[in-house]
Amino acid sequence: MSLALVTMSHSPLLEYADPPAEVADAVQGAFDTARAFVKDYDPTLVVSFAPDHYNGFFYDLMPPFCIGYEAVGVGDYGTAEGPLNVPAERAEELAQWVAERDIDVAISRRMEVDHGAIQPLEILFGGIDAVPTIPVFVNGVAKPFVTMRRVRRLGEAIGAFLTTFEDERVLVLGSGGLSHDPPVPQWATADDAARAMLLSGRHPTAVARQARQQRVIDTAKAFAAGTAAIQDLNPAWDQALMATLASGDLSPIDAMTPEQMAKDAGNSSHEVRTWVAAFAALGAAGPYDVAYSFYRPIREYIAGFGVMAARTAP
Ligand SMILES: O=C(O)CCC(=O)/C=C/C=C(\O)C(=O)O
Ligand SMILES: [Fe+2]
């Protein structure tokens, strides 16, 4: 049973920033290539590893991982609002399989997902309900973080489950990263208002949503102009990680620590956990070939921006 994979950065700035035309075109070209790869594979099921940015998961109950039996887009940054097409029975079977392999996952019967989960579905499929999708939340912004080994093992367990399907063509998606440090509040440094949002800021008013988004848009403008007080992108770190993922041997990733990742590649570099889980899932079906790899450090998007596509080797 073979699997296919697409991992891609997302960015709240995709529709709200104005990088040079050559950069925007290159990103659109990468999306076009990923879309063509997916069209050719023609998946019947998607398993999507994605983080959240305090839209669905908050500090009142923050799991490291969560499998959604149903999911709803919250509609941030111009992304689609409304239900995803989640095959609930398959999702339940997946959660049971993973639990039996000694990985503790939360489940949600109504997961709320933001641009982190929605952008890849919109970019690759043109909508959020086009292909049955099991959403898997992987915490990428909220301390504490589980070990990278644990993330790899989650991906392996999910991949092993997917290889049991003789009747499906499964695409695994990983959304986020690479090096970047957008202005997502941190509990340790947040003021009272920001802590209230981090604790349980579900369903903000339109005005509050707009204020949150504008802060990110303003920071991106300042970052592009060289005046933002956020950590710089780290293309060397990004490309080294992509090379490790492409190699098929993910074992070096086990040694990465959250502290060093934040120091080297910014507080949101933890989003690469979704890529690690996705590649580990793909690897569960055997050796794989990378069909496509794109990378640009893009300050206007506050992102070391990567796209990869891969498939089980024939
Ligand atoms: O609204 C907030 O306060 C959180 C900011 C936010 O949502 C930033 C998101 C950034 C990314 O998704 C990213 O760069 O990966
Ligand atoms: Fe993100």
Interatomic CA distance for residues 175 and 183, integer angstroms: 18
Residue 237 lies in domain: 2-312
Is 203 among the catalytic positions? no
Ligand 1 atom 7 nearest Cα: 53
Which atom of ligand 1 approaches the CA of 76 most closely?
7
Q: Which residues contact 132 (CB under 8 A, 6 or more apart)?
A: 44, 45, 46, 85, 86, 87, 90
pTM of the model: 0.98
Compute the distance from residue 226 Cα to the ligand 1 centre, in Å. 19
Interatomic CA distance for residues 20 and 204, integer angstroms: 33
Ligand 1 atom 4 nearest Cα: 184
Q: What is the CATH number of the domain that holds 206?
A: 3.40.830.10
**pLDDT tens string 33-43:** 999 999 999 99
Is 180 among the catalytic positions? yes
Give DSSP secondary structure letters for 41-99.
H--SEEEEEE--SSSS--TTS--SEEEESSEEEE-GGG--EEE----HHHHHHHHHHHH
Query: In this structure, is the dihedral angle defined by the CA atoms of residues 107, 113, 119 and 124, taken in order, positive or negative?
Result: positive
**pLDDT tens string 32-69:** 999 999 999 999 999 999 999 999 999 999 999 999 99
Question: What residues of the chain score a pLDDT lower than 70?
Answer: none
**Which of 27, 139, 184, 230 should be mutated for ligand 1, with most atoms under 8 A from CB?**
184
How much is the pLDDT for 1?
Answer: 81
Compute the distance from residue 60 Cα to the ligand 2 centre, in Å. 20
Ligand nearest to the CA of 17: 1
Quick one: 167 exposed, middle or buried, by C-beta within 10 A (0-12, 13-18, 19+)?
A: exposed
Split into its structural domains, the chain has a count of: 1
Compute the distance from residue 166 Cα to the ligand 1 centre, in Å. 38
Which atom of ligand 1 approaches the CA of 9 most closely?
15
User: Which residues have a beta carbon within 5 Å of ligand 2, which is an ion?
Assistant: 116
B/e letters for 102-132, b = 16+ CB within 10 Å, e = fewer, are ebebbbbeebbbbbbbbbbbbbbbeebeebb
